[in-house]
Structure 1
Amino acid sequence: MSHPLERIALISDVHGNLTALEAVLADIDARGITRILNLGDYVGKGPRGREVIDLCRERCEVNLLGNWDDFLPDPDRTWGGEALAWWLAQLSEGQGEWLRSLPFSHDFTMSGRRIRLFHASAGTVHRRVRFDHDEEEFLGMFANTPATGDGPEPTVVGYGDTHDPYYEVDRQRRTLFNTGSVGNCMDDPTPVYVILEGVPDSEVEAPFSIQFVRVPYDVEAELAVAGEMGMPELAAYTSELRDGIYRGEMNDPAGPGYHRRPRP
Protein backbone atom coordinates (compact mmCIF):
# COMPACT_ATOMS: atom_id res chain seq x y z
CA MET A 1 0.00 0.00 0.00
CA SER A 2 1.45 3.33 -1.01
CA HIS A 3 1.53 6.30 1.36
CA PRO A 4 1.08 9.94 0.39
CA LEU A 5 4.23 11.96 -0.08
CA GLU A 6 4.75 15.14 1.90
CA ARG A 7 6.86 18.19 1.10
CA ILE A 8 8.87 20.09 3.71
CA ALA A 9 10.62 23.41 2.98
CA LEU A 10 14.06 24.11 4.45
CA ILE A 11 15.30 27.69 4.68
CA SER A 12 18.57 29.00 6.10
CA ASP A 13 20.76 32.08 6.48
CA VAL A 14 18.16 34.80 6.03
CA HIS A 15 20.54 37.30 7.70
CA GLY A 16 18.10 40.14 8.19
CA ASN A 17 17.00 40.23 4.53
CA LEU A 18 13.26 40.51 5.05
CA THR A 19 12.53 41.21 1.38
CA ALA A 20 14.11 37.90 0.32
CA LEU A 21 12.42 35.98 3.13
CA GLU A 22 8.99 37.29 2.17
CA ALA A 23 9.57 36.28 -1.48
CA VAL A 24 10.64 32.77 -0.48
CA LEU A 25 7.71 32.32 1.89
CA ALA A 26 5.34 33.45 -0.87
CA ASP A 27 6.79 30.78 -3.18
CA ILE A 28 6.47 28.13 -0.47
CA ASP A 29 2.86 29.14 0.09
CA ALA A 30 2.11 29.08 -3.64
CA ARG A 31 3.27 25.45 -3.73
CA GLY A 32 0.90 24.52 -0.91
CA ILE A 33 3.74 23.61 1.47
CA THR A 34 2.82 24.18 5.11
CA ARG A 35 5.85 22.78 6.97
CA ILE A 36 8.94 25.01 7.12
CA LEU A 37 12.14 24.23 9.01
CA ASN A 38 14.77 26.95 9.53
CA LEU A 39 18.48 26.08 9.85
CA GLY A 40 19.56 29.33 11.48
CA ASP A 41 21.36 32.67 11.04
CA TYR A 42 18.40 35.02 11.25
CA VAL A 43 20.46 38.14 11.99
CA GLY A 44 23.51 40.12 10.89
CA LYS A 45 24.68 41.26 7.44
CA GLY A 46 21.20 42.63 6.60
CA PRO A 47 19.16 45.33 8.33
CA ARG A 48 15.96 43.73 9.63
CA GLY A 49 16.90 40.94 12.02
CA ARG A 50 14.05 41.80 14.37
CA GLU A 51 11.41 41.43 11.69
CA VAL A 52 13.00 38.25 10.32
CA ILE A 53 12.94 36.66 13.80
CA ASP A 54 9.29 37.59 14.29
CA LEU A 55 8.28 36.13 10.92
CA CYS A 56 10.28 32.94 11.38
CA ARG A 57 8.83 32.38 14.84
CA GLU A 58 5.38 32.70 13.28
CA ARG A 59 5.95 30.56 10.18
CA CYS A 60 8.58 27.91 10.98
CA GLU A 61 7.73 24.80 12.99
CA VAL A 62 11.43 24.29 13.78
CA ASN A 63 14.02 27.03 14.27
CA LEU A 64 17.66 26.00 14.78
CA LEU A 65 20.70 27.84 16.14
CA GLY A 66 23.14 29.53 13.77
CA ASN A 67 26.59 30.94 14.45
CA TRP A 68 25.43 34.57 14.20
CA ASP A 69 22.50 33.76 16.48
CA ASP A 70 24.98 32.47 19.06
CA PHE A 71 27.69 35.13 19.01
CA LEU A 72 25.85 38.37 18.17
CA PRO A 73 23.71 38.46 21.36
CA ASP A 74 26.35 36.77 23.54
CA PRO A 75 26.56 38.90 26.71
CA ASP A 76 30.16 37.76 27.22
CA ARG A 77 31.35 38.73 23.71
CA THR A 78 34.24 41.18 24.04
CA TRP A 79 35.08 41.70 20.35
CA GLY A 80 33.23 43.51 17.60
CA GLY A 81 32.74 46.98 16.20
CA GLU A 82 30.19 49.46 14.97
CA ALA A 83 28.42 47.00 12.65
CA LEU A 84 27.91 44.27 15.26
CA ALA A 85 26.67 46.84 17.77
CA TRP A 86 24.19 48.18 15.17
CA TRP A 87 22.82 44.73 14.27
CA LEU A 88 22.46 43.84 17.95
CA ALA A 89 20.62 47.09 18.62
CA GLN A 90 17.99 46.17 16.01
CA LEU A 91 16.78 43.24 18.11
CA SER A 92 13.79 43.71 20.37
CA GLU A 93 13.77 42.75 24.04
CA GLY A 94 14.11 39.01 24.55
CA GLN A 95 15.06 38.17 20.97
CA GLY A 96 18.74 37.70 21.80
CA GLU A 97 17.88 35.23 24.53
CA TRP A 98 15.48 33.43 22.19
CA LEU A 99 18.20 33.08 19.55
CA ARG A 100 20.77 31.67 21.94
CA SER A 101 18.25 29.16 23.36
CA LEU A 102 17.45 27.57 19.98
CA PRO A 103 18.09 23.83 19.54
CA PHE A 104 21.29 22.75 17.85
CA SER A 105 19.87 20.07 15.54
CA HIS A 106 16.66 18.38 14.46
CA ASP A 107 16.23 14.69 13.54
CA PHE A 108 13.32 13.03 11.74
CA THR A 109 12.56 10.16 9.36
CA MET A 110 11.28 10.35 5.80
CA SER A 111 10.95 7.52 3.25
CA GLY A 112 13.16 5.25 5.36
CA ARG A 113 15.96 7.80 5.61
CA ARG A 114 17.18 9.21 8.91
CA ILE A 115 17.51 12.94 8.35
CA ARG A 116 19.45 15.35 10.53
CA LEU A 117 19.50 19.12 10.13
CA PHE A 118 21.88 21.59 11.76
CA HIS A 119 23.48 24.90 10.86
CA ALA A 120 27.17 24.32 10.17
CA SER A 121 28.74 21.09 11.46
CA ALA A 122 27.91 18.19 13.75
CA GLY A 123 29.96 19.55 16.64
CA THR A 124 29.48 23.32 16.69
CA VAL A 125 27.82 26.17 14.81
CA HIS A 126 31.24 27.82 14.62
CA ARG A 127 33.01 25.20 12.47
CA ARG A 128 32.59 25.64 8.73
CA VAL A 129 32.42 22.70 6.29
CA ARG A 130 32.73 23.92 2.70
CA PHE A 131 31.70 22.25 -0.54
CA ASP A 132 35.36 21.28 -1.18
CA HIS A 133 35.75 19.34 2.09
CA ASP A 134 37.78 16.14 2.45
CA GLU A 135 36.42 12.68 3.29
CA GLU A 136 37.08 13.06 7.00
CA GLU A 137 34.98 16.20 7.10
CA PHE A 138 32.25 14.48 5.07
CA LEU A 139 32.05 11.51 7.46
CA GLY A 140 32.16 13.81 10.46
CA MET A 141 28.91 15.42 9.39
CA PHE A 142 27.09 12.11 10.07
CA ALA A 143 28.62 11.46 13.50
CA ASN A 144 26.86 11.82 16.83
CA THR A 145 28.46 14.50 19.03
CA PRO A 146 27.66 16.05 22.41
CA ALA A 147 25.87 18.78 20.43
CA THR A 148 23.64 16.43 18.41
CA GLY A 149 23.11 13.86 21.16
CA ASP A 150 22.93 10.09 20.87
CA GLY A 151 20.59 7.98 18.79
CA PRO A 152 20.70 6.45 15.33
CA GLU A 153 23.23 8.22 13.13
CA PRO A 154 21.66 10.00 10.17
CA THR A 155 21.83 8.81 6.58
CA VAL A 156 20.91 12.26 5.23
CA VAL A 157 22.36 15.52 6.59
CA GLY A 158 21.29 19.00 5.56
CA TYR A 159 23.01 22.19 6.68
CA GLY A 160 23.50 25.87 5.76
CA ASP A 161 26.18 28.32 6.95
CA THR A 162 28.39 28.50 3.83
CA HIS A 163 25.70 30.18 1.65
CA ASP A 164 26.78 27.75 -1.08
CA PRO A 165 24.20 25.08 -2.08
CA TYR A 166 25.31 21.60 -3.18
CA TYR A 167 24.34 17.90 -3.06
CA GLU A 168 26.67 14.92 -2.50
CA VAL A 169 26.27 11.16 -1.95
CA ASP A 170 28.75 8.34 -1.25
CA ARG A 171 28.68 4.59 -1.94
CA GLN A 172 27.08 3.89 1.43
CA ARG A 173 24.19 6.12 0.29
CA ARG A 174 25.00 8.77 2.85
CA THR A 175 23.64 12.02 1.48
CA LEU A 176 24.97 15.47 2.38
CA PHE A 177 23.44 18.68 1.10
CA ASN A 178 23.70 22.39 1.75
CA THR A 179 20.56 24.51 1.52
CA GLY A 180 22.34 27.66 0.41
CA SER A 181 21.08 31.00 1.72
CA VAL A 182 17.77 32.82 1.49
CA GLY A 183 19.11 36.27 2.29
CA ASN A 184 22.78 36.27 1.33
CA CYS A 185 23.56 33.58 -1.23
CA MET A 186 27.00 33.49 -2.85
CA ASP A 187 28.01 33.53 -6.53
CA ASP A 188 24.40 33.45 -7.77
CA PRO A 189 22.83 35.82 -5.22
CA THR A 190 19.26 34.70 -6.03
CA PRO A 191 17.69 33.37 -2.82
CA VAL A 192 17.61 29.58 -2.65
CA TYR A 193 15.81 27.09 -0.43
CA VAL A 194 15.28 23.30 -0.41
CA ILE A 195 12.19 21.13 -0.64
CA LEU A 196 12.35 17.60 0.79
CA GLU A 197 9.68 15.21 -0.48
CA GLY A 198 8.95 11.75 0.85
CA VAL A 199 6.76 9.68 3.14
CA PRO A 200 6.86 11.37 6.56
CA ASP A 201 7.77 9.47 9.72
CA SER A 202 8.24 6.24 7.76
CA GLU A 203 10.99 3.65 8.30
CA VAL A 204 10.11 2.00 4.97
CA GLU A 205 12.09 2.94 1.88
CA ALA A 206 10.02 5.00 -0.54
CA PRO A 207 10.58 7.73 -3.14
CA PHE A 208 12.59 10.61 -1.74
CA SER A 209 13.74 13.83 -3.35
CA ILE A 210 15.76 16.95 -2.61
CA GLN A 211 14.88 19.97 -4.75
CA PHE A 212 16.65 23.34 -4.86
CA VAL A 213 14.45 26.35 -5.62
CA ARG A 214 15.69 29.81 -6.67
CA VAL A 215 13.32 32.72 -6.01
CA PRO A 216 13.97 36.16 -7.56
CA TYR A 217 13.08 39.19 -5.46
CA ASP A 218 13.41 42.99 -5.41
CA VAL A 219 17.07 43.43 -4.50
CA GLU A 220 16.98 47.21 -4.89
CA ALA A 221 14.04 47.52 -2.49
CA GLU A 222 16.04 45.61 0.17
CA LEU A 223 19.10 47.81 -0.37
CA ALA A 224 16.96 50.95 -0.20
CA VAL A 225 15.66 49.91 3.23
CA ALA A 226 19.20 49.23 4.45
CA GLY A 227 20.28 52.67 3.25
CA GLU A 228 17.31 54.43 4.85
CA MET A 229 18.03 52.69 8.15
CA GLY A 230 21.67 53.78 8.06
CA MET A 231 23.02 50.24 8.24
CA PRO A 232 26.82 50.01 8.46
CA GLU A 233 28.78 48.18 5.73
CA LEU A 234 26.17 49.03 3.12
CA ALA A 235 28.70 48.88 0.26
CA ALA A 236 29.64 45.31 1.21
CA TYR A 237 25.98 44.33 1.54
CA THR A 238 25.27 45.84 -1.88
CA SER A 239 28.09 43.82 -3.46
CA GLU A 240 26.80 40.63 -1.89
CA LEU A 241 23.15 41.09 -2.85
CA ARG A 242 23.68 42.39 -6.38
CA ASP A 243 26.64 40.30 -7.49
CA GLY A 244 27.23 37.51 -4.96
CA ILE A 245 30.71 38.91 -4.24
CA TYR A 246 31.48 38.57 -0.56
CA ARG A 247 33.15 40.93 1.86
CA GLY A 248 35.40 37.99 2.75
CA GLU A 249 37.98 38.59 5.40
CA MET A 250 37.37 42.33 5.68
CA ASN A 251 34.75 42.13 8.40
CA ASP A 252 33.58 38.56 8.92
CA PRO A 253 34.52 37.16 12.34
CA ALA A 254 35.98 33.88 11.08
CA GLY A 255 38.71 35.66 9.14
CA PRO A 256 39.94 34.83 5.63
CA GLY A 257 37.90 32.43 3.58
CA TYR A 258 34.77 32.87 5.67
CA HIS A 259 32.57 31.26 3.07
CA ARG A 260 34.91 29.34 0.80
CA ARG A 261 38.47 28.83 -0.30
CA PRO A 262 39.38 31.05 -3.24
CA ARG A 263 39.36 29.49 -6.65
CA PRO A 264 42.77 29.14 -8.33
Structure 2
Amino acid sequence: MDRIALISDVHGNLTALEAVLADIDARGITRIVNLGDYVGKGPRGREVIDVCRERCEVNILGNWDDFLPDPARVIDSEGLAWWLAQLGEGQGEWLRSRPFSHDLLISGRWLRLFHASPVSVHHRVRFDHDEQQFLGMFANTPATGDGPAPTVVGYGDTHDPFYEVAGRGLTLFNTGSVGNAMDDPTPVYVIVEGVLDALEPAPFGVQFVRVPYDAEAEIAVAEAMGMPELDGYVAELRHGVYRGAVNGPRYHRAESRGARKVIR
Protein backbone atom coordinates (compact mmCIF):
# COMPACT_ATOMS: atom_id res chain seq x y z
CA MET A 1 0.00 0.00 0.00
CA ASP A 2 1.27 3.43 -0.96
CA ARG A 3 0.64 6.42 1.29
CA ILE A 4 0.55 10.11 0.39
CA ALA A 5 0.19 12.95 2.90
CA LEU A 6 -1.98 15.87 1.87
CA ILE A 7 -1.46 19.20 3.62
CA SER A 8 -3.15 22.52 2.96
CA ASP A 9 -3.62 26.07 4.20
CA VAL A 10 -0.43 26.46 6.23
CA HIS A 11 -0.83 30.26 6.05
CA GLY A 12 2.60 31.21 7.35
CA ASN A 13 2.34 29.08 10.51
CA LEU A 14 5.78 27.49 10.50
CA THR A 15 5.42 25.93 13.96
CA ALA A 16 2.30 24.00 12.91
CA LEU A 17 3.91 22.94 9.63
CA GLU A 18 6.99 21.58 11.41
CA ALA A 19 4.80 19.59 13.83
CA VAL A 20 2.79 18.06 10.98
CA LEU A 21 5.90 17.22 8.96
CA ALA A 22 7.41 15.54 12.02
CA ASP A 23 4.29 13.38 12.35
CA ILE A 24 4.42 12.52 8.64
CA ASP A 25 8.09 11.54 8.98
CA ALA A 26 7.36 9.41 12.05
CA ARG A 27 4.85 7.43 9.98
CA GLY A 28 7.44 6.78 7.29
CA ILE A 29 5.53 8.72 4.63
CA THR A 30 7.80 10.29 2.04
CA ARG A 31 5.34 11.69 -0.52
CA ILE A 32 3.62 14.98 0.34
CA VAL A 33 1.25 17.08 -1.75
CA ASN A 34 0.46 20.64 -0.66
CA LEU A 35 -2.94 21.98 -1.72
CA GLY A 36 -2.01 25.64 -1.42
CA ASP A 37 -2.28 28.79 0.69
CA TYR A 38 1.28 28.93 1.97
CA VAL A 39 1.12 32.63 2.90
CA GLY A 40 -1.05 35.26 4.54
CA LYS A 41 -2.73 35.36 7.97
CA GLY A 42 0.42 34.07 9.77
CA PRO A 43 3.90 35.58 10.19
CA ARG A 44 6.32 33.30 8.33
CA GLY A 45 5.15 32.82 4.78
CA ARG A 46 8.71 33.07 3.45
CA GLU A 47 9.94 30.23 5.63
CA VAL A 48 6.88 28.10 4.90
CA ILE A 49 7.50 28.42 1.16
CA ASP A 50 11.13 27.38 1.59
CA VAL A 51 10.15 24.29 3.59
CA CYS A 52 7.37 23.27 1.20
CA ARG A 53 9.61 23.65 -1.83
CA GLU A 54 12.06 21.27 -0.17
CA ARG A 55 9.64 18.74 1.32
CA CYS A 56 6.58 18.58 -0.94
CA GLU A 57 6.54 16.49 -4.10
CA VAL A 58 3.75 18.67 -5.54
CA ASN A 59 2.83 22.24 -4.55
CA ILE A 60 -0.57 23.44 -5.80
CA LEU A 61 -1.80 27.02 -6.21
CA GLY A 62 -4.05 28.53 -3.52
CA ASN A 63 -6.17 31.67 -3.54
CA TRP A 64 -3.83 33.62 -1.26
CA ASP A 65 -0.86 32.51 -3.37
CA ASP A 66 -2.59 33.92 -6.43
CA PHE A 67 -3.89 37.26 -5.20
CA LEU A 68 -1.30 38.36 -2.62
CA PRO A 69 1.68 38.71 -5.02
CA ASP A 70 -0.47 39.81 -7.98
CA PRO A 71 1.30 42.89 -9.39
CA ALA A 72 -2.05 44.27 -10.57
CA ARG A 73 -3.54 44.17 -7.07
CA VAL A 74 -3.89 47.41 -5.15
CA ILE A 75 -2.52 46.85 -1.63
CA ASP A 76 -5.12 48.61 0.47
CA SER A 77 -4.47 47.30 3.96
CA GLU A 78 -1.63 47.13 6.44
CA GLY A 79 -2.01 43.37 6.76
CA LEU A 80 -1.76 42.63 3.04
CA ALA A 81 1.23 44.96 2.67
CA TRP A 82 2.98 43.27 5.60
CA TRP A 83 2.40 39.71 4.37
CA LEU A 84 3.53 40.65 0.87
CA ALA A 85 6.71 42.23 2.26
CA GLN A 86 7.56 38.95 4.02
CA LEU A 87 8.06 37.16 0.69
CA GLY A 88 11.64 36.56 -0.42
CA GLU A 89 13.06 37.30 -3.85
CA GLY A 90 11.24 35.34 -6.54
CA GLN A 91 8.76 33.75 -4.13
CA GLY A 92 5.79 35.69 -5.45
CA GLU A 93 6.49 34.48 -8.98
CA TRP A 94 6.95 30.93 -7.69
CA LEU A 95 3.60 31.02 -5.89
CA ARG A 96 1.66 32.25 -8.91
CA SER A 97 3.29 29.65 -11.18
CA ARG A 98 2.05 26.67 -9.13
CA PRO A 99 -0.11 24.11 -10.97
CA PHE A 100 -3.85 24.44 -10.56
CA SER A 101 -4.51 20.76 -9.88
CA HIS A 102 -2.86 17.36 -9.68
CA ASP A 103 -4.35 14.04 -10.83
CA LEU A 104 -3.26 10.51 -10.00
CA LEU A 105 -4.55 6.95 -10.26
CA ILE A 106 -4.79 5.02 -7.01
CA SER A 107 -6.50 1.66 -6.35
CA GLY A 108 -8.53 1.92 -9.55
CA ARG A 109 -9.80 5.41 -8.68
CA TRP A 110 -8.92 8.67 -10.38
CA LEU A 111 -8.03 11.16 -7.65
CA ARG A 112 -7.96 14.89 -8.36
CA LEU A 113 -6.46 17.42 -5.94
CA PHE A 114 -6.92 21.19 -6.08
CA HIS A 115 -7.26 24.08 -3.67
CA ALA A 116 -10.87 25.27 -3.82
CA SER A 117 -12.89 24.05 -6.82
CA PRO A 118 -12.34 22.94 -10.41
CA VAL A 119 -13.43 26.38 -11.60
CA SER A 120 -11.01 28.70 -9.79
CA VAL A 121 -8.90 29.01 -6.64
CA HIS A 122 -11.28 31.84 -5.74
CA HIS A 123 -14.51 29.82 -6.16
CA ARG A 124 -15.40 28.33 -2.79
CA VAL A 125 -17.43 25.18 -2.08
CA ARG A 126 -18.24 24.63 1.59
CA PHE A 127 -19.24 21.56 3.57
CA ASP A 128 -22.94 22.57 3.37
CA HIS A 129 -23.01 22.50 -0.43
CA ASP A 130 -25.98 21.32 -2.50
CA GLU A 131 -26.08 18.38 -4.92
CA GLN A 132 -25.23 20.51 -7.94
CA GLN A 133 -22.15 21.91 -6.22
CA PHE A 134 -21.12 18.41 -5.16
CA LEU A 135 -21.31 17.02 -8.68
CA GLY A 136 -19.57 20.08 -10.06
CA MET A 137 -16.46 19.24 -8.04
CA PHE A 138 -15.89 16.21 -10.31
CA ALA A 139 -16.17 18.10 -13.60
CA ASN A 140 -13.37 18.75 -16.07
CA THR A 141 -12.89 22.48 -16.69
CA PRO A 142 -10.43 24.66 -18.62
CA ALA A 143 -8.49 24.97 -15.35
CA THR A 144 -8.20 21.21 -14.69
CA GLY A 145 -7.81 20.05 -18.30
CA ASP A 146 -9.41 17.17 -20.16
CA GLY A 147 -7.98 14.12 -18.39
CA PRO A 148 -10.13 11.30 -17.01
CA ALA A 149 -12.91 12.69 -14.86
CA PRO A 150 -12.10 12.02 -11.18
CA THR A 151 -14.12 9.72 -8.95
CA VAL A 152 -12.37 11.05 -5.83
CA VAL A 153 -11.65 14.74 -5.18
CA GLY A 154 -9.63 16.25 -2.34
CA TYR A 155 -9.39 19.97 -1.67
CA GLY A 156 -8.62 22.56 1.02
CA ASP A 157 -9.51 26.27 1.17
CA THR A 158 -12.41 26.26 3.66
CA HIS A 159 -10.38 25.03 6.68
CA ASP A 160 -13.30 22.69 7.36
CA PRO A 161 -12.38 18.98 7.08
CA PHE A 162 -15.06 16.53 5.96
CA TYR A 163 -15.58 13.30 3.99
CA GLU A 164 -18.62 12.60 1.81
CA VAL A 165 -19.69 9.81 -0.55
CA ALA A 166 -22.67 10.08 -2.90
CA GLY A 167 -24.22 8.23 -5.86
CA ARG A 168 -21.96 6.30 -8.23
CA GLY A 169 -19.33 6.10 -5.52
CA LEU A 170 -18.15 9.69 -5.97
CA THR A 171 -16.02 10.67 -2.98
CA LEU A 172 -15.32 14.25 -1.88
CA PHE A 173 -13.13 15.23 1.05
CA ASN A 174 -11.62 18.39 2.47
CA THR A 175 -8.21 18.22 4.13
CA GLY A 176 -8.81 21.02 6.61
CA SER A 177 -5.98 23.37 7.53
CA VAL A 178 -2.50 22.84 8.94
CA GLY A 179 -1.81 26.38 10.07
CA ASN A 180 -5.22 27.98 10.55
CA ALA A 181 -7.68 25.29 11.66
CA MET A 182 -11.13 26.50 12.71
CA ASP A 183 -13.49 25.18 15.41
CA ASP A 184 -10.84 22.71 16.60
CA PRO A 185 -7.61 24.75 16.22
CA THR A 186 -5.45 21.60 16.21
CA PRO A 187 -3.66 21.26 12.83
CA VAL A 188 -5.13 18.58 10.59
CA TYR A 189 -3.91 16.81 7.47
CA VAL A 190 -4.96 13.77 5.40
CA ILE A 191 -3.27 10.49 4.51
CA VAL A 192 -4.47 8.82 1.30
CA GLU A 193 -3.64 5.12 1.13
CA GLY A 194 -3.91 2.73 -1.79
CA VAL A 195 -2.04 1.21 -4.74
CA LEU A 196 -0.65 3.92 -6.99
CA ASP A 197 -1.06 3.55 -10.77
CA ALA A 198 -3.34 0.51 -10.31
CA LEU A 199 -6.17 0.27 -12.83
CA GLU A 200 -7.87 -2.54 -10.94
CA PRO A 201 -9.79 -1.88 -7.71
CA ALA A 202 -7.72 -2.29 -4.54
CA PRO A 203 -8.05 -1.21 -0.90
CA PHE A 204 -8.29 2.56 -0.60
CA GLY A 205 -8.42 4.80 2.44
CA VAL A 206 -8.63 8.42 3.56
CA GLN A 207 -7.43 9.18 7.10
CA PHE A 208 -7.61 12.49 8.97
CA VAL A 209 -4.81 13.20 11.44
CA ARG A 210 -4.78 15.93 14.14
CA VAL A 211 -1.35 16.99 15.38
CA PRO A 212 -0.97 19.06 18.58
CA TYR A 213 1.62 21.82 18.46
CA ASP A 214 2.85 24.85 20.42
CA ALA A 215 0.45 27.57 19.30
CA GLU A 216 1.80 29.98 21.91
CA ALA A 217 5.26 29.76 20.34
CA GLU A 218 3.83 30.78 16.97
CA ILE A 219 1.85 33.62 18.55
CA ALA A 220 5.04 34.84 20.24
CA VAL A 221 6.83 34.91 16.88
CA ALA A 222 4.00 36.91 15.30
CA GLU A 223 4.06 39.36 18.18
CA ALA A 224 7.85 39.76 18.08
CA MET A 225 7.73 40.39 14.34
CA GLY A 226 5.08 43.10 14.78
CA MET A 227 2.54 41.36 12.56
CA PRO A 228 -0.67 43.37 12.01
CA GLU A 229 -4.09 41.94 12.91
CA LEU A 230 -2.54 40.03 15.78
CA ASP A 231 -5.75 39.85 17.86
CA GLY A 232 -7.57 38.00 15.09
CA TYR A 233 -4.68 35.61 14.63
CA VAL A 234 -4.56 34.85 18.37
CA ALA A 235 -8.30 34.10 18.41
CA GLU A 236 -7.88 31.67 15.54
CA LEU A 237 -4.84 29.84 16.88
CA ARG A 238 -6.01 29.59 20.49
CA HIS A 239 -9.72 29.03 20.07
CA GLY A 240 -10.45 28.24 16.42
CA VAL A 241 -12.69 31.31 16.25
CA TYR A 242 -12.48 32.93 12.82
CA ARG A 243 -11.13 36.47 12.92
CA GLY A 244 -14.09 37.73 10.89
CA ALA A 245 -16.36 36.73 13.74
CA VAL A 246 -14.23 38.84 16.09
CA ASN A 247 -13.32 41.86 13.99
CA GLY A 248 -16.00 41.85 11.31
CA PRO A 249 -15.57 40.85 7.64
CA ARG A 250 -12.40 41.82 5.86
CA TYR A 251 -10.77 39.31 3.56
CA HIS A 252 -13.41 36.62 4.10
CA ARG A 253 -16.88 36.58 5.54
CA ALA A 254 -17.90 34.49 8.52
CA GLU A 255 -21.31 32.87 8.61
CA SER A 256 -22.98 30.51 11.02
CA ARG A 257 -24.95 27.32 10.45
CA GLY A 258 -26.62 26.57 13.73
CA ALA A 259 -23.87 27.00 16.32
CA ARG A 260 -21.14 26.15 13.83
CA LYS A 261 -18.95 28.88 12.36
CA VAL A 262 -17.47 28.40 8.91
CA ILE A 263 -15.14 30.54 6.87
CA ARG A 264 -15.63 31.98 3.43
Normalised by the length of structure 1, the TM-score is 0.95
CA distance in structure 2 between the partners assigned to 1:80 and 1:166 by the alignment: 34
CA distance in structure 1 between the partners assigned to 2:93 and 2:75 by the alignment: 19
Equivalent residue in structure 2 for 1:223, among 219, 225, 243: 219
Match of 1:176 in 2: 172
* Aligned-residue offset at 1:151: 1.5
Mapped contact 2:75–2:81 kept (Cα < 8 A): no
CA distance in structure 2 between the partners assigned to 1:252 and 1:128 by the alignment: 16
Is 1:253 matched up with 2:257?
no
Match of 2:203 in 1: 207
Is 1:157 matched up with 2:148?
no
Match of 1:28 in 2: 24
Is 1:188 matched up with 2:188?
no
Equivalent residue in structure 2 for 1:99, among 95, 98, 103: 95
CA distance in structure 1 between the partners assigned to 2:89 and 2:215 by the alignment: 29
Is 1:65 matched up with 2:65?
no
CA distance in structure 2 between the partners assigned to 1:251 and 1:221 by the alignment: 27
Match of 1:134 in 2: 130
Match of 1:148 in 2: 144
* Aligned-residue offset at 1:70: 0.3
Mapped contact 2:37–2:63 kept (Cα < 8 A): yes
- Structure 2 residue ranges without an equivalent (≥5): 260-264
* Aligned-residue offset at 1:79: 4.7
* Aligned-residue offset at 1:80: 2.9
- Secondary structure at 2:149's aligned position in 1? coil
Q: Which amino acid aligns with 1:253?
A: Y
Match of 2:258 in 1: 263
Match of 2:262 in 1: none
Match of 1:45 in 2: 41
Equivalent residue in structure 2 for 1:113, among 109, 113, 116: 109
**Residue deviations 1:151-180, cap 9 Å, x none?**
210000000000000000012100000000
CA distance in structure 2 between the partners assigned to 1:196 and 1:251 by the alignment: 34
Q: Which amino acid aligns with 1:54?
A: D
Cα distance, 1:7–1:63 mapped onto 2, change above 3 Å = same
* Aligned-residue offset at 1:262: 3.9
How many equivalent pairs are there? 257
CA distance in structure 1 between the partners assigned to 2:62 and 2:207 by the alignment: 22
Q: Which amino acid aligns with 1:165?
A: P
Q: Compute the RMSD of aligned alpha carbons.
A: 1.1
Match of 2:233 in 1: 237
CA distance in structure 2 between the partners assigned to 1:136 and 1:185 by the alignment: 27
* Aligned-residue offset at 1:263: 2.6
CA distance in structure 2 between the partners assigned to 1:248 and 1:110 by the alignment: 38
* Aligned-residue offset at 1:251: 4.9
**Residue deviations 1:45-70, cap 9 Å, x none?**
00000000000000000000000000
**Residue deviations 1:203-224, cap 9 Å, x none?**
1100000000000000100000
Give the % identical residues.
Answer: 75
CA distance in structure 2 between the partners assigned to 1:176 and 1:212 by the alignment: 13
CA distance in structure 2 between the partners assigned to 1:251 and 1:16 by the alignment: 21
- Secondary structure at 2:227's aligned position in 1? coil
CA distance in structure 2 between the partners assigned to 1:151 and 1:14 by the alignment: 29
- Structure 1 residue ranges without an equivalent (≥5): none
Is 1:123 matched up with 2:119?
yes
